[in-house]
């Protein structure tokens, strides 16, 4: 575990919050799929903007505005560099949810009766509800590719659903409830072979592994800064330039225009055509610092660290009596489980007493939980700063949960 140890020594000291106690115990933060913690470098980049060069961007001809504009645009470049996108292909939104809504409103509303949208049964509500609602408005239809009892996609079923009627395929790269990794490259090839667009919800992949837009071969990728060491309130929609150029804006107003008369409006160039109003300037700057931080460590190192932790956790949890782990063998750093008949919320409350932060419930995937016959699960999810010792504490605390509810 040389990589793990070197990563740990490099990173833990950068996260002030990891030094705090919760209920008298050192915090073990295992809720990273919900949101990540922030390193000092990100917090300081945001403070530096407010302390030294806070101004609105693009429209002011003064020093502060020029500095703020340069830093905001640098963040676009950093996000593009992260996934190998081209200039103009990175749109800043509020989060993954807004990125997917942008697509639903812009492309989704062009659908017609008879058109079809193909999703998987394991989507987060953010990649389900917008398409479902758009389908109702346009009288198009949503079809769901099945997943098996481990949460893995049935590719044969998926392929059978994608036809000439399919206009959009949208799927998570990594599913948030069970950590399954979808073969999105292959799915994009199938979508394209029938003339459909491929949308990837990468909220749980871009923060944890190297992702290349060109290698995935998809048309759109959505992700959130707050799940990858950056601040809340800023996210990305990557779009293939040729597709973004065809699309209509989702929000109208200032900054997204080139020329306005009382009768007509000419829209701005990419990406600003999709960034109406004053954007989250400090958020973009903090996000840029988070990308720098992750790139310095290397997302391949982050991924192998999390894989090592996940293997260790699966082995450790298998030793615990009455713990039932869900999800596939090949998975990302997300482990969903239940302990006997204990309600996931009760289990999480006892873990909290031990200073261990996990998530419990339906994980914004209610239809999937219903299909699996589950009221919910406890979910532990890892990031670069987590340790084997924290997993040991989780396993020991589960012993306590079992005893309390025996
Ligand atoms: N998609 C997936 C797979 C997620 O895990 C999440 C958040 O947990 C989202 C979408 C929504 O992300 P956000 O709340 O940042 O918009």
pTM of the model: 0.97
Q: Say how many Å lie between the CA of residue 97 and the centre of ligand 1.
A: 6
How confident is the model at residue 44, as a pLDDT?
98
> In this structure, are residues 373 and 25 in contact, taking their beta carbons and an 8 Å threshold?
no
Domain residues for the domain of 21 are 2-29+298-405
What percentage of the chain reaches a pLDDT higher than 70?
Answer: 98
- Residue 149 alpha carbon to ligand 1 centre in Å: 22
- CA of residue 363 to ligand 1 center, whole Å: 10
CB atoms within 10 A of CB 209: 20
Cα 126 to ligand 1 centre (Å): 6
Domain membership flag for residue 36: no
- Are residues 316 and 282 part of one domain? no
**Ligand 1: residue whose CA is nearest its atom 5:** 176
Range 161-172 average pLDDT:
98
Domain check: are 236 and 352 in the same one? no
pLDDT recorded at residue 233: 98
Verify that 275 and 126 share a domain, yes or no: yes
Domain contains 206: yes
Same domain, 291 and 385: no
238 and 106, same domain (yes or no): yes
Residues 6+ apart with CB under 8 A from 329: none
- Looking up tokens 């670069």 gives 384
Verify that 289 and 312 share a domain, yes or no: no
Q: 39 in a domain, yes or no?
A: no
The residue whose CB lies within 8 Å of the most ligand 1 atoms, and thus the one to mutate among 103, 104, 178, 224, is 224
User: What spacing in Å lies between the alpha carbon of 201 and ligand 1's midpoint?
Assistant: 8
Tens digits of residue pLDDT in 169-183:
999 999 999 999 999
Same domain (yes/no): 267, 312: no
- Residue with CA at minimum distance from ligand 1 atom 6: 203
Task: Verify that 105 and 243 share a domain, yes or no.
Answer: yes
CB atoms within 10 A of CB 262: 4
Domain finish residue from 296, 325, 359: 296
Give the number of C-alpha atoms closer than 13 A to the C-alpha of residue 268, restricted to the C-beta side.
20
pLDDT of residue 59: 79
Q: Compute the CA torsion angle 32, 310, 176, 329 (nearest 10 deg).
A: 180
Distance 203 CA to ligand 1 centre (A): 5
Task: End-to-end CA distance of the chain: give it in Å, rounded.
Answer: 36
pLDDT digits (tens, 9 = 90+) for 182-208: 999 999 999 999 999 999 999 999 999
Residue 37 lies in a domain: no
Q: Which residue has the higher pLDDT, 7 or 80?
A: 80
Q: Which of 364, 369, 391, 394 is catalytic?
A: 364
Q: Which of 101, 102, 124, 359 to mutate to test the pocket of ligand 1 (most atoms within 8 A of CB)?
A: 124
* Integer CA distances (angstroms), 305 to 30, 148, 378, in order: 14, 28, 22
pLDDT computed for residue 241 by the predictor: 97
Residue 266: inside a domain: yes
What is the average per-residue pLDDT within 230-235? 98
Give kind and range of the element (H or E) at residue 77: helix 63-83
Regarding predicted confidence, which is higher, 7 or 331? 331
What atom of ligand 1 comes closest to residue 35's alpha carbon? 8
| Nearest ligand 1 atom to alpha carbon 174 | 3
Pocket test for ligand 1, best of 34, 126, 283 (most atoms within 8 A of CB): 126
Residue, of 60 and 353, whose pLDDT is higher: 353
Pick the residue with more confidence: 4 or 67?
Answer: 67
CATH number at residue 370: 3.90.1150.10
Residue 34 lies in a domain: no
Q: Which helix (H) or strand (E) holds 378?
A: strand 377-381
295 is catalytic: no
Specify the pLDDT at position 60: 77
- Same domain as 210, residue 83: yes
Q: Where are the beta strands (DSSP E) in 249-319?
A: 257-260, 265-267
pLDDT over 60 at 62, yes or no:
yes
Listed in sequence order, the DSSP H helices in 202-252 are: 213-216, 241-246
1-44 confidence digits (pLDDT tens): 455 556 666 799 999 999 999 999 999 999 999 999 999 999 99
- The verdict on 248 and 318 lying in the same domain is no
Best mutation site among 147, 226, 364 for ligand 1 pocket (most ligand atoms within 8 Å of CB): 364
Spatial CA neighbour of 4 closest among 387, 401, 397: 387
**CA of 34, closest atom in ligand 1:** 8
Q: Same domain for 107 and 253?
A: yes
Give the rounded distance of the alpha carbon of 327 from its chain centre. Answer: 18
Write down which residue in 237, 272, 296 finishes a domain.
296
DSSP code at position 350: H
Q: Is residue 134 part of a domain?
A: yes
Q: What is the CATH number of the domain that holds 69?
A: 3.40.640.10
Atom of ligand 1 nearest to the CA of 95: 16
Q: Which of 254, 276, 296 is the last residue of a domain?
A: 296
| Atom 12, ligand 1: residue with shortest CA distance | 96
Residue for token digits 């769901």? 144
For residues 229, 12, 332, 313, the Cα torsion angle rounded to the nearest 10 degrees is -150
Report pLDDT digits (tens) over 118-160.
Answer: 999 999 999 999 999 999 999 999 999 999 999 999 999 999 9
Residues 328/180, Cβ–Cβ less than 8 Å: yes
Ligand 1 binding pocket, CB closer than 6 Å: 33, 95-97, 124, 126-127, 172, 176, 201, 203-204, 224
Number of domains in the chain: 2
Q: Are 123 and 271 found together in one domain?
A: yes
Q: What is the DSSP letter of 62?
A: S
- Tell me if 220 is assigned to some domain: yes
Per-residue model confidence as pLDDT tens digits over 84-120: 999 899 999 999 999 999 999 999 999 999 999 999 9
User: Which residues, listed in sequence order, are joined to residue 259 by a DSSP beta bridge?
Assistant: 266
319 CA to middle of ligand 1, Å?
31
Residue 294 is predicted with a pLDDT of 98
Q: Is the pLDDT of residue 304 over 80?
A: yes
For 312, the token pair is 């260790």
User: What's the pLDDT score for residue 10?
Assistant: 77
């Amino acid at each position: 575990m040389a990589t793990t140890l070197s990563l740990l020594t490099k990173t833990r000291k950068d996260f002030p919050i990891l030094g705090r106690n919760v209920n008298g115990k050192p915090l073990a933060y295992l809720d990273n799929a919900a949101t990540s913690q922030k390193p000092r470098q990100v917090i300081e980049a945001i403070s530096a903007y407010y302390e030294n060069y806070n101004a609105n961007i693009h429209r002011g001809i003064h020093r502060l505005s020029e500095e703020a504009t340069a830093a905001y645009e640098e963040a676009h470049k950093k996000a593009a560099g992260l996934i190998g996108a081209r200039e103009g292909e990175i749109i800043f939104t509020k989060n993954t949810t807004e990125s997917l809504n942008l697509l639903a409103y812009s492309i989704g509303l062009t659908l017609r009766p008879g058109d079809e949208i193909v999703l998987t049964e394991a989507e987060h509500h953010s990649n389900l509800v917008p398409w479902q609602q758009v389908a109702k408005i346009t009288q198009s239809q949503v079809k769901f590719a099945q997943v098996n009892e481990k949460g893995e996609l049935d590719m044969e079923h998926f392929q059978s659903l994608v036809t000439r009627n399919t206009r959009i395929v949208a799927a998570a790269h990594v599913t948030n409830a069970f950590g399954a990794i979808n073969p999105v490259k292959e799915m994009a090839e199938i979508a394209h072979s029938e003339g459909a667009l491929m949308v990837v919800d990468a909220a749980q992949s871009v923060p944890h592994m190297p992702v290349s837009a060109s290698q995935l071969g998809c048309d759109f990728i959505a992700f959130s800064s707050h799940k990858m060491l950056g601040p809340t309130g800023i996210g990305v929609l990557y779009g293939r330039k040729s597709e973004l150029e065809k699309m209509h804006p989702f929000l109208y107003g200032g900054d997204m225009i080139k020329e306005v008369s009382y009768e007509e409006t000419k829209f701005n160039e990419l990406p600003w055509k999709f960034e109406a109003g004053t954007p989250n300037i400090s958020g973009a700057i903090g996000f840029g610092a988070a990308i720098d931080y992750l790139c310095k460590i290397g997302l391949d190192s982050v991924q192998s660290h999390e894989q090592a932790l996940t293997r260790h956790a699966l082995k450790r949890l298998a030793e615990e009596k009455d713990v039932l782990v869900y999800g596939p063998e090949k998975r990302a750093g997300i482990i969903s489980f239940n302990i006997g008949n204990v309600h996931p919320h009760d289990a999480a409350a006892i873990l909290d007493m031990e200073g261990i932060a996990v998530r419990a419930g339906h994980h914004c995937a209610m239809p999937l939980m219903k299909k699996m016959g589950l009221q919910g699960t406890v979910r532990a999810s890892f990031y670069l700063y987590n340790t084997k010792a924290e997993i040991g504490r989780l396993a020991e605390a589960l012993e306590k949960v079992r005893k309390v509810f025996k």
